[in-house]
Amino acid sequence: MPGYIQVSASGLFWENTLFNVAVAAYILAMLSYLVHLFGKKEFGPFASFVLRLAFLLHTAFIITRTINVERVPFVGHFEFGNLFIWATVLVYIWTEWRLKDKYYAVGAFLTPLAVLYIGYLTVVPKIFTSVTISRLHSPLPPVLQSNWLKLHVSASVFGYAGFTLAFAAAVMWLLKVKMGERSSLARALPQTKVLEEYMYRASAFGFLFQSIMIISGAIWADTSWGRYWGWDPKEMWSLITWFVFAVYLHARFTRGWTGRRTVTLVMVGWVAMVFTWIGVAWLLTGIHSFG
């Protein structure tokens, strides 16, 4: 068909195979982290190894898709979601390495989120849309053939990654406090001060990239449409997410807020982030629909 990119059968086979094997490895890593959390400490290094393997397989999938579509796979709900999951796992692996593998428990809360994101990407579109696997990929419209796309989306996925890690730490903090030290699960989790520091650093990381995403998007919009801001639903919800985390970071840094108030803000920020990604795509219309 004219105007479409024809993907070979072998290219499609490797793309689908690598994705499915990566998903299976992510699930195995999640189960291994959970086994570690619930008492089998020897599973920590194994879970970490499997997660790194899953990340490499996921990287191979993204490279294969890049070759198949003849561009960096930054466009559309499925491609953005995969990059977001990939970035989240990358940032977590980096923090695990930086902490000298001391806190495998974080993986027990991060990997379920990654698997949940993957489940959403693979199950929901099949239920609510008529999406089918095709060897045809449409080329990018002119407005997306810009280097600003690469910067804008790259910043976005790393911003979302940081917020996801912060949310995982917030959930751990809440469980630690609610269950008390008499619970074996609570004792397996890092101390609340450690979790608050992890949450703070992850939020700051995500906030930095969310800021870059908003600024680069505004510049890109000005070069494309002659205006910096268009009150598009995704622009608005991205700004809401940014604002919630800005309040949290400001309160933490200047007023020394800790505890339940900060955990609540991080959770609210994560919900706003998820709505920016999923809710806007399905419930609202705009130039970012299903982006």
pLDDT tens across 52-94, in order? Answer: 999 999 999 999 998 888 888 887 788 889 999 999 999 999 9
Alpha-helical runs (H) found in the chain: 9-37, 43-69, 76-98, 105-128, 147-179, 184-188, 192-225, 233-254, 260-274, 280-283
In angstroms, the CA 278 to CA 93 distance is 25
Phi, psi of 6 (to 5 degrees): -85, 125
* Amino acid 142: pLDDT: 57
* Amino acid 38: pLDDT: 85
Ranges of residues in the chain whose predicted pLDDT is under 70: 1-7, 100-102, 125-145, 181, 224, 229-230, 284-291
* Amino acid 214: pLDDT: 93
* Amino acid 127: pLDDT: 56
- pTM of structure: 0.88
C-beta atoms surrounding 101 within 10 Å: 12
* Amino acid 139: pLDDT: 62
User: Across-strand partners of 5?
Assistant: 137
Which residues make Cβ contacts (< 8 Å) with residue 192, sequence separation at least 6?
Answer: 173, 176, 177, 259
Alpha carbon of residue 3 to chain centroid: 32
User: Both tokens of residue 250?
Assistant: 């400001």
* Amino acid 130: pLDDT: 42
